[in-house]
Amino acid sequence: MGSRVLASRASRMKAKLQSALEATLLEIEDVSHQHAGHAEVRNSGAGGETHFNVKIISPKFEGQSLVKRHRMVYDTLNDELSSGLHALSIVAKTPFEAAKK
């Protein structure tokens, strides 16, 4: 009987996004502390993990509009959004776009 350790929301998000979108770069930053006074944070029951910045580079974004790319991220994280994740700031680029300076 080992103790079960629940993964943080950021870890779950990273695993889901990596698997679904085959990211070549994936950065997830928890910025929930910046929203500590918001009612959604206080009432979320999510342990404060409610607001994140996500930067993702994926070949699956090729040919997709920015709106479609964001929809792909939101669809992948649907379970998290229905269980306390309140807000995402998303940067979603193709490998080609990321390589351009």
Domain-located, residue 14: no
Give the pLDDT confidence of 2-45 residue by residue, as tens digits. Answer: 444 457 899 999 999 999 999 999 999 988 866 555 545 444 45
Q: Other C-beta atoms within 10 Å of 7: how many? A: 10
Domain-located, residue 51: yes
Number of domains comprising the chain: 1
Give the pLDDT confidence of 38-80 residue by residue, as tens digits. Answer: 545 444 454 568 889 999 999 999 999 999 999 999 999 999 9
Domain-located, residue 32: yes
Q: Residue 86 sits in which domain range?
A: 24-36+47-100
Order across the sheet with 87-93: list the strands. 25-30, 51-57, 87-93
CATH of the domain at 88: 3.30.300.90
Domain-located, residue 94: yes
